Structure 1
Amino acid sequence: MYIKVETSRLDYYKSEQFQQELRVESLQGITDSLHVDGQTDPSQIGQKVILPSSFIGGPRDMRKRYVNAMALVERFGKPDLFLTMTCNPNWKEIRKHLLPSQLPHDRPDLIARVFKAKLEEFKDDIVRKKIFGEVAAYIYVVEYQKRGLPHAHWIIILTPPNKIACPSTYDHIISAELPDTSHPFLREYVVKHMMHGPCGSSNMKCSCMRNGECKYHYPKDFAEVTCNGLNSYPIYKRRDNGMSAVVRNFRLDNRHVIPYSPYFLLKLDCHINVEVVTTEKLVKYLYKYVYKGHARSAFNVVGQTVDDKYDEIQAYQEGRYICAPEACWRMFAFPMSEMYPPVIVMPVHLPNHQPLRFGLRQSLEQVASNPLAGKTMLTEFFEMNASNANSKNLNLLYKEYPEYFVWEGTKHKWKPRQRQVVVGRLCSVSPMEGERYFERLLLINVRCPSSFDDLMTVGGVKYTTFRETAVRRGLLQSDHYIDACLAEAASFQMPYCLRVLFAMLLVYGIAGDTQNLWDKYYECMSEDFVRMKIFTDVEVLCKTVDAIELVLTSMDKTILDFPIKFPFQYPSVRSKISRDYEHECSINVSEEDIQSVHQLNTEQLCAFKIIIERVNHKKAGLFFLDGPGGTGKTFLYRALLANVRSAGGIALAVASSGVAASLLPGGRTAHSRFKLPLHHEDKPMGKISKQSSAAKMIVKARLIIWDEASMANRHSIEALDNLLADLCGNKLAFGGKVVLFGGDFRQTLPIVIHGTREDMIAASIVSSKIWQNVTRICLTKNMRAREDPEFISFLLSLGNGQIPFIFDDNIRIPSSMLIPFVDAATSLNALIQYVYPSMDVFLTDPYSMVDRAILTPKNDSVGEINDLLMDRFPGEAKEYVSFNRTNDATQQVEFEDYLNSVAASGLPPHILKLKKNCPIMLLRNINPVQGLCNGTRLICRELADNFIKAEIAVGDLKGTEVLIPRIPLESSDKLSCSIPFKRMQIPVRPCFAMTINKAQGQTLDMVGIYLRQPVFSHGQLYVGLSRVRNSKAIKILIHPDFKGEGTVDYTNNIVFHDIFALAAGFCRFVFNLFFFHFCEFMFIYPCSLIS
């Protein structure tokens, strides 16, 4: 019956009556037809509609639903849960209504009605009863298997306070294990509904097998704990605990269990797969999968004649397969899908190009003269902004308008919304459409425009095209962007900064016509040398080029890599080898650092003598300086560097992070100094040529210090070992150099994306073959203990994992350190007030902000807090909007809006809001020679249209000015983003708040720790608490655990005790205070015993 109904509808859509009855054209098109060529026949203009989106299940309908669903992601963030609920034909509600001798498949009407009832019950539990937490948005789609049973795919987005944030939370709602016999009903249902297979070697004929492997990757590996998977769903806890069951004559264990929700499995008695969505990478796949369309049967492919035209209706009907339950479902008018909140599609049209629908028999005069003809959502949006006080006060974007106003279609006007949550979405427009695309770009970003003219006005100047307006607003990269950037920078009259800016633009490949830019701005870049009046023209050229070359070489480039012809012959005989050497020799050594050797305590002094003895006698030495925060590791580093440098030697200082590197004189990140590979290889090596200036300088180095090596990946350290052996031609470890690593194994370990405990330990230096050659020197005397000895003792116990657990990995936090939890907003505000009590004070003394920070485990919370504090910071904000471009140009239209919402790791936000004197953090290595590394903290001083002017806020280069332009950026975590893309943006972000990992290596005056989610890795809690000198300088805000249950005075403290055993057990020697006293008594240096 249903086939006849659907066929009848499709026949109508295919009929001439329908195809010619309804026409679509713009108002301007109708006017043009009337006044230009006198055309009055409606059949001669407009375009045909093949299969309308009103036909549920058609390609236009599925495409519209998919794009609408992506709009929910843009508005509320990535999905949290993906669920599949499948009909159970043996439900008692079906069985008890069967007639004698009937089987479930004989009653498709029963199957449809019962599944609909169960689906509504399921929705009620999720949405109203909030089983998983408060739901911000959801979609579900009903599909049918070939054998006829329905199933529903659900995608759920939770509100921010209810996000399923970490693997420990996953276990509250999802299990992937067989229950024990103490839960007999749950065990029965798991065995009946949630066991996959058997497949693989047990059953190669299973339907899931593809090329000898299960396409769902069963059986899974055993796992002792739940963790995030690499570019996939989580790796759920599947313990090898002996649990098994006989399924289809095979004994299966936890490796075959499909993840499920115990609550829903017991309640619904059907297959119900529940998965946590952990990465952005899954977003595109999930929504494409859910909206893939209905089932199709196999059919033959025949040749197409030249005269055949593509018929969308015929393409839909070919291979169409409808089972009996689906036919009943559709005849009962049950929804095939549902979306909450609903999405309102907003039209985008050029002035006087409103789309109009008109009948074949209407006269064009009637169509054009209709007073409502020219009124659309867009034109009335402008009108409301011009005349309605409420609309003006709300100051809304076009896409935000439906959230506050309702469109009355019959009256063609907006009215205030009284109820129901909705989301607005601008209709998609291809860049090929030119002005309409640029108009859409403006509508996405410009608030409260009152007319098309107002939309095209910037700073009181009305531009003639939408493209020109978008360029002027910084929403579109101009063909003359670089020229405008350099011209604006030249007006600051800072030749040094202009040279650095020019070098950056060269390196990032956005300088365009480099010769023209060089000719135009050479005088501005050389102005300071000319003003000295002591150099000839050739010498001025050499000085200018050398200054640019110094920046370029730090980024592995040279001026000769670019097509620039100099006005004078650049003396190529000048040795490039000397540049890095000269720079290292020019590092200022303060008298304070030189004299610091006299202030070393006994432990530090002995370590100093051991290392300097090796340096002075040119003996190989490989050391690891181990000690908790406050034992003076940085103080000792500075004394060592000063000793070597003051004697005319080269000492290289590097660190694993930009923050730690900024604390060392001449410090740089290890990756930028040694060009270490970002991605780990079988035989890693730094990419420095033997003929380069950097290579010659490294060979001359007498001492290399690598701070925070405990958080460096061992592959990076091994890459340095291979590099030094190659450059020095010496097979000894690290080319026979004296190398001092430093760190604290109580702190965070190397980051392994979605890695397990074993992965992180395996990535540590203690798991490297190098570790057996390392002499470990331990500092134990804490210089901060005099201020608060009880706090220091607490920190050591915390870092060593010696504080007793309340349960699992949770410890109790002293009440004196806690911010009481009232509700999310109130408590967060209290934490902010503690760390930043008065923003006006920081406006006059911005450097004092650098000694304060709110720390949190994850980037999501960092962005939230930075946005709050930026709004509170005094001054006028300036917004910099990024240009996002997909690597595959064909995906640009489909994902442009979505990419604007992506906050990928290592990328600045799409809309970067800054104010003068606010603290910011650099997100890329843009000039390592001058301390501008990933993680460097700066103070924002000027906000130009094309760049910002900032000052370095910490370290020996504090106060150095720099101009930072927009540069093309890619996420450092490419595995987490489903659509590869580049973001053109200024590579900074506010740093009122930062992640705990970013803060490692620095000491602060005031710290707030925000634990919306608990820490998730070894040492994170210890790192957060040990940034301050005493307990009075820190406060912690702990959110309640899942669903708001339990107290808030405990939190996770994850400690991998294995790392301590490896650190102590496999190095050559442990030097500590006891050994020092023994050596002092024997009147010998310890180094004579370990030579």
Structure 2
Amino acid sequence: MRASAVGVRIVLPGTFPGGDRDMKKRHMDAMAIVHTYGKPDIFLTMTCNPKWEEITNELLPGQMSQDRPDIVAPVFYGKLEAMKDMLLKKMVLGVVVAYVVAFNAQADLKNVVSSENASKSMLTEYFKANKKNTLGQGHIVSVNPAEGERYYLRVLLNHVTGKTGFEDLLTVDGVVCGRFREAAERLGLIEADNTLDDYLTEAEQWAMPCSLRRLFATILVHCEPGDVRGLWDRHLEPMPNDYRRTRTSPNEVEQMVLLDIRGMLQSMGKYIIDFALPTIDDAFDPTKGEAREIIEESTVEFYESDTKLSSSLNLEQRAAYDEILSAVERGDGGVFFLDGPGGTGKTFLYRAMLAKVRGEGKIAIATATLGVAASIMPGGRTAHSRFKIPPSCDDGASCSFTKQSGTAKLLRMASLILWDEASMTKRQAVEALDNSMRDIMGIRD
């Protein structure tokens, strides 16, 4: 049995204290509070004491506190609630106008282990508690426009009042729409750029500059704004805040943002010249317009010691090394399959070939099906990431890059492509890449 097939992946709901969704929600809540009330006056921390008598009195003989999380967690939450009571009700430190708790002190343990659809149940409770739907009073979780229906659901929640449930939210002029996007379109919420303006304005209150730049690139690709230049002029100010620390020229700062967005657009198969944005000045462009993927692979550093590995190859490794690199030298191509169980020296051979090819100034791409295998090769990446292989590789599937994309250009320029395949159960992924390669190279059966 393959290790990857053991167990079931569980996505922790936002009600799980300390989980990714919980922490992201609390971060955005904190940013919204700071935006409204200013910076906090007091920062308090509270930790659990394993020697609290409420814990030690319940331990069985031979047990330690770490053996009984079912005791420690409720006791800690009880203590936390007591401290909150002193601060909020007894006001021992004065009147509290707003506060943020790092972990969810109100979570019931029975809600932590649950198989229900967390997002739907949370929104259902939201509808029950907010029948008048005064949304201006949090904060709704941010959603990327590329997430499709989740984004359009958020648009509706932010602009449509008086709704009490999902079906009610989908109903426009007495007609129940089949999708949230359809409802938003009927209401005219996604035809105008003001929705995108609102979304960017809100994101500027909490998102980091690099995230804002990626969000802007995503909007260009997936939302097709009508006034791209106007959107740029209105939201440029917060996007280069990190660049302003080291650069004083406004023109240079703007150019850095444009270069960053260009790379992001290239990764999505688009070109910045297709959008009405300011022109990139070649004086600020060290890449001279080269694709991001080409730069990444052509600048991979290899260890000098790897260039000496070829002298330590055994007979079988040497035979493969000579035959593969001879094909690279001739430039006539070829597909080679190395078969061997773990520990027989495949990675050793890979490192020797990568160092040889890269040492000659050529591009060598190192990929693997598994992230662990990719990490032990210089410049290694997962095959799904580098080749844009779709998560579900059905018959006839192809990788999600175009003939004009940076990935396609990289594959045409590469002298050597290594793919460490952990299991032939990924054959469909290989076929998906083959379909795309034949398309970009113009190969026909």
TM-score of the superposed pair, with normalisation by structure 2: 0.50
Higher relative contact order (CA 8 A, sep 6+): 1
Specify the structure having the higher radius of gyration (Cα): 1
Structure with the higher helix share, 1 or 2: 2
TM-score of the superposed pair, with normalisation by structure 1: 0.22
Structure with the higher strand share, 1 or 2: 1
